[in-house]
Amino acid sequence: MYLPKQIFKRNSHNAFFKVLAGFGRSLNRLYENRNHDVYSNGELTVLEKLAMINPSVIIDGGANIGKYALLANRLIPGCKIYAFEPVESTFLELVENTRDHSNIIPVNKGLFKDDCTREMNIFPSHTHASLFDIKGLPYKSQRTSTVELIQGDRFLDEQKIDQVDLLKIDIEGAEYDALEGFRNSIKRSVIRAVQFEYGYINISTKKLLIDFYRFFEEHDFITGKIFPRTVEFRDYAFKYEDFLGPNFISVKRSEQEFINLLKYKIKRRGRLKLV
């Protein structure tokens, strides 16, 4: 076995193997679910399974123009959804898109580790914004906008919310900062599950997947990666630090019913089925 490996390594850097390596990278991205479409990347599946445990409150951190909030409302019509969007122009679209749904509550703030105002980078698509100047993109920020940020713990206290069934945070690199803002609520088991995004932007933010794992392990949560039909709960390993993302979910260990639901694979024939 050693000799074939040696021959392969000596001759691997050529046009044929370059193409083969590119194909392998593409196949790996597909297998690891580098996919931001809520209908096919597993986010829809998570909401369908969440509906089975009768949730009452969802926090949508990074609601953008409201697509996720509207989907959650359709699947779980009795659930109250707090939709956070700090950029004024995007927030106005969110309000317009959700005005006919009284249980979707738009909040013109962003989630962060403390209360403050910051400059938000606005990218060519007016609904793409980040607190971070993201490196490696084929385009650059066009302008900045001053936004208001709030600590999650304080928001829950102000609104007298004593249980959050799902905290979903997709805020272009500030996910860990938002988690810090909910630290006390997570410690007190107010929050049952957290869905967060992880990907290439974490290279710029310097927050690695291991940082999220450590945070959640400290608070007795287990973490898994969201795939189209299931969640693969797994211990941290270096190989998962691939920046492919897109979404992970951490669930309080005591929420065994929800954990079991997330583990099951589903097949779609018009409605959710467990197999």
For the chain, percent of residues with pLDDT exceeding 90:
70
Is residue 275 predicted with pLDDT exceeding 50?
A: no
Confirm whether 142 is domain-assigned.
yes
The pair of three-digit structure tokens given for residue 40, joined into one six-digit string: 């096919």
pLDDT digits (tens, 9 = 90+) for 194-240: 999 999 899 989 999 999 999 999 999 999 999 999 999 999 999 99
- pLDDT given at position 52: 96
**pLDDT tens for each residue of 55-71:** 999 999 999 999 999 99
- Residue 95 scores a pLDDT above 60: yes
Residue 18 belongs to a domain: no
Give the model's pLDDT for residue 214.
Answer: 98
270 pLDDT exceeds 50? no
Q: Does pLDDT of 120 surpass 60? A: yes
User: Which tokens sit at 174?
Assistant: 């500030």
3-state secondary structure of 18: helix
Give domain status of residue 16, yes or no: no
Mean residue pLDDT across the chain: 91
> What's the pLDDT score for residue 215?
98
Q: Which parts of the chain fold into alpha helices (H)? A: 2-10, 15-31, 43-51, 67-75, 88-98, 152-159, 175-181, 183-187, 201-205, 209-218, 256-263
CA atoms lying within 13 Å on the CB side of residue 45:
25
pLDDT (0 to 100) of residue 24:
87
Q: Which has the higher per-residue pLDDT, 32 or 270? A: 32
> Per-residue pLDDT for 122 more than 80?
yes
The answer as to whether 19 is a domain residue is: no
Q: Beta 80-84 vs 104-107: how paired, if at all? A: parallel
For residue 6, the model assigns a pLDDT of 73
Tokens read off for 141: 């920020």
Residue 274 — very low, low, confident or very high, per pLDDT cuts 50/70/90?
Answer: very low
Give yes or no for a contact between 232 and 206, defined as CB atoms under 8 angstroms apart.
no
Q: Is residue 127 pLDDT above 70, yes or no?
A: no
Instruction: Determine the pLDDT at residue 7.
Output: 67
What would the two tokens of residue 245 be?
A: 């993302």
Using an 8 Å Cβ cutoff, are 77 and 185 in contact?
Answer: no
* Residue 121 included in any domain: yes
SS (H, E, C) 85-145: CCCHHHHHHHHHHHCCCCCEEEECCEEECCCEEEEEEECCCCCCEECCCCCCCCCCCCEEE
Give the model's pLDDT for residue 80: 98
The confidence score (pLDDT) of residue 58 equals 98
Residue 189 lies in a domain: yes
Strand partners, 223: 250
**Number of folded domains in the chain?**
1
**Rounded to an integer, what distance in angstroms lies between the CA atom of residue 144 and that of residue 217?**
36
Express each pLDDT in 153-172 by its tens digit. Answer: 999 999 999 999 999 999 99
What angle is formed at CA 270 by the lines to CA 51 and CA 46, rounded to 5 degrees? Answer: 30
Write out the residue range of the structural domain in which residue 48 sits. Answer: 32-274
More confident residue, 48 or 134: 48
**Residue 24 counted as domain residue:** no
Mean pLDDT of the region 141-156: 94
CB neighbours of residue 110 within 10 Å: 26
pLDDT at 273 over 70: no
14 inside domain: no
Question: Residue range 13-40: average pLDDT?
Answer: 85
What is the C-alpha separation between 109 and 167, in angstroms, rounded?
15
Q: What is the CATH number of the domain that holds 94?
A: 3.40.50.150
pLDDT of 60 reads 98
Nearest alpha carbon to residue 131 among 150, 145, 114: 145
**Predicted local confidence at residue 129, as pLDDT:** 87
